[in-house]
Amino acid sequence: MTAMASNTAGSTDRMMGSVKESIGSMTGNESLEARGKAQNAQGQATQKTEQAKQQTKATGEHAKAQWEETKGDVREALN
C-alpha cells in the first residue's frame, strides 16, 4: 500500500469510526459505539504508523546525504 493510500485508509477509518460512535451514542447502541471507537483508533494508528514510516525514510535519506558529504570532505582532506 502506498503512503497516500495508507493515509487515506486511516482517514476513512477515523471518519467512519466517528460516525459509528456518534450514531451508537445517540441511539444507545453500545456495541456500535464501541465498534466506532475501535475503528477510529485503528485509523489513528494507521495514520501515525504512516507518519513514522515517512519520518524514518526522511531521516535515513538525510543520514545518507550527510555520510556522502563527509566522505567527500575526507577525500578532499587526504588529497
pLDDT digits over 8-62, tens only?
A: 889 999 999 999 999 999 999 999 999 999 999 999 999 999 999 999 999 999 9
Q: Give the predicted TM-score (pTM) of the model.
A: 0.69
- Containing structural domain, residue 56: 3-78
Structural domain count, the chain? 1
Q: Has residue 3 got a pLDDT over 80?
A: no
**Helices and strands, number each (H, E), in the chain:** 2, 0
The dihedral through the CA atoms of 65, 68, 69, 70 has a sign that is: positive
CA 66 to each of CA 54, 72, 74: distance values in angstroms, whole numbers, following the listed order: 18, 10, 12
pLDDT band of residue 77 (cuts 50, 70, 90) is confident
The total of other beta-carbon atoms located within 10 Å of residue 39's CB is: 20
**Residue for grid cell 483508533:** 41
pLDDT given at position 75 = 87
